[in-house]
Structure 1
Amino acid sequence: MLKRFLLCSLLLLLAGCHRDRPELRVAVDAGFQPAMEALRGDFEAQCNCLLRVTAGSSGLLYSQIRGGELFDVFLSGDMARPVLLEKAGFIVPASRQEYARGQLALWVSRQLSEKKSAGFSTLNAELASNRTELTPRQLILLLGKGKHRLVIADPQLAPDGDAAVKMLKKFRLWPRLKNRMVYAGHAGHAQILLHQGEGEMGVIPYGQALASGRGGQYMRIPAHFHPPIHHQLVILRNTRERSRAIQLLQYLQSPPVQARLESLGYLAIAGTGDSPDKAISPDGARVTNSE
């Protein structure tokens, strides 16, 4: 009986400590969610806080923020929505800064990749030789032949879907593919549709493919094939956790985390925010490195 009492007391104490930890409400583009989940334990230990992560398309999260949804930080998959929030006065001054640069991957279902056509034989050979980056010829060959359905995230809502459509138009593949597109709500939904067989191929964030590539094969699409995908972060004006929000920004921009993000499918940022010499202080004022 005494042991049971002590055990219950310990569990209640731990639960109470858990509740006492402050929460940072983070809205994150679904394409970056796998990376955020990989990093959250380390950050939570550093800040002694809990991350309450809400994932979705950048467009939908932007609409929720404009509609009054309470978040502390918005990790967008682009820079367009953060700019709009900044112009509308929704963010802490100087908090709009880049934290990662996205990449895309071509994902092919295992059933399709095992077919003996020339294009998929080439894909299998390249994967077997550990070459994981597509060439223009391979991209055109794989996407341009057959009647395969192609899954992407809704280009009106998801930056990776928008970049995918612009890439297809650049390589003059859009006329052949536009009637075979399957649109997902966001990057995570695109991966679900691919695993469910709703499409035989998909253009999804490279980080998403690395995190959940089971059931298919994938190759990275070189960044110069599509417009740059600048992931920007903003701290929302109404946050009550400004110091921890700034800590998250600084954590994501730190060299060790930037190096880790490269292993998670992202390109390191060239600098912080719109200018490398700008940073943000705990009170939200803009300062420079020379101060």
Structure 2
Amino acid sequence: MGHCFARPLALLCALFAVGTASAEEVQVAVAANFTAPMQAIAKEFEQDTGHKLVIASGATGQLYTQIKNGAPFEVFLSADDNTPAKLEQEGDSVPGSRFTYAIGTLVLWSAQAGYVDAKGEVLKNGQFKHLSIANPKTAPYGLAATQVLEKLGLTQAVAPKLVEGQNITQALQFISSGNAELGFVALSQVYKDGKLTQGSAWIVPADMHEPIRQDALILNRGKGNPAAKALMDYLKGPKAAELIRSFGYQL
């Protein structure tokens, strides 16, 4: 009798242990441009898997420095493909975990309706006092912005008017607050469900700058954390793809 009782109890204990062990927390470093999409994905991911995301965002270059200095991140979603490749080469990530989760779109944006025309001619007339960009040394969208200005032959003309944000979030804040009339930001910051959330914009043609391929990988600290692996799988799935596209990214 006792033997019969012990087996179901042991099975129940085993199931309980599996249930409690399966819900994990994962620390995620996210490039600033992908903060809003990541928050939307996190909500769905947590509902579907039971795992919890702890998100920290910043410029890709800043996050790289933090990772190298021992920050407790387990997964990294970059704004480029070079930085994750570098971490991979330096032995800081789980081999074979890197993949491109999104291709970013650069936009010239103003908080004022009708200020930026659909072809970006506003850049050439030079009537503005300040043009906001993210720091091109640490933020891939900032680097792409400098490539666009170079291609248009405007690098020298706009140099005195440039206002640099530490990352793409700060670059957006300069424009939103009116400190800069316009600037280059990520489309995902001003776009949702297929339309601009406010203001006016020129969506920069992709051939005007190097592709903004955004790669993700599992860092060494995330090795063995089932939530880290689950997140990577989720980012490759249909629900995440739909959300990523809704913020103006390509896949």
* Corresponding residue to 2:229 among 246, 270, 289: 246
Deviation at 1:240, TM superposition (A): 5.4
8 Å CA contact retained: 2:188, 2:248: yes
* Corresponding residue to 2:169 among 170, 188, 210: 188
Counterpart of 2:181 in structure 1 is 200
Deviation at 1:213, TM superposition (A): 6.0
* Corresponding residue to 1:58 among 57, 60, 83: 60
Q: For 2:101 and 2:68, how far apart are their aligned partners in 1? A: 22
Matches within 5 A, 1:1-20: none
Tell me the TM-score normalized by structure 2: 0.84
Q: For 1:51 and 1:246, how far apart are their aligned partners in 2? A: 12
Matches within 5 A, 1:44-123: 44-110=46-112, 113=115, 123=117
- The C-alpha deviation readout for 1:20-47, integer Å capped at 9, x for no partner, is 9521100000001111111111011122
- The C-alpha deviation readout for 1:197-256, integer Å capped at 9, x for no partner, is 110001100001115966622232222222100000010112255322121112111234
Q: For 2:240 and 2:205, how far apart are their aligned partners in 1? A: 22
Counterpart of 1:29 in structure 2 is 31
Tell me the TM-score normalized by structure 1: 0.73
The farther-off stretch of 143-152 and 66-75 is: 143-152
For the pair 1:259 / 2:242, whether they are aligned, the reply is yes
Deviation at 1:260, TM superposition (A): 2.9
8 Å CA contact retained: 1:144, 1:176: no
8 Å CA contact retained: 1:28, 1:76: yes
- The C-alpha deviation readout for 1:270-290, integer Å capped at 9, x for no partner, is xxxxxxxxxxxxxxxxxxxxx
Counterpart of 1:159 in structure 2 is 140
8 Å CA contact retained: 1:148, 1:201: no
Counterpart of 2:122 in structure 1 is 142
Gaps of 5+ in 1: 1-19, 114-119, 124-133, 269-291
8 Å CA contact retained: 1:102, 1:205: yes
- The C-alpha deviation readout for 1:128-179, integer Å capped at 9, x for no partner, is xxxxxx4xxx32x210112431111100011111111111101111111111
Equivalent residue of 1:71, what SS? coil
Change (3 A) 1:40 1:185: same
Deviation at 1:259, TM superposition (A): 3.2
Q: For 1:156 and 1:81, how far apart are their aligned partners in 2? A: 12
Gaps of 5+ in 2: 1-21
Q: For 2:180 and 2:224, how far apart are their aligned partners in 1? A: 42
Q: How many residues were matched structurally?
A: 229
Counterpart of 1:216 in structure 2 is 199
Counterpart of 1:228 in structure 2 is 211
Give the letter aligned to residue 46 of structure 2.
Answer: E
The farther-off stretch of 101-110 and 255-264 is: 255-264
Q: For 2:168 and 2:128, how far apart are their aligned partners in 1? A: 22
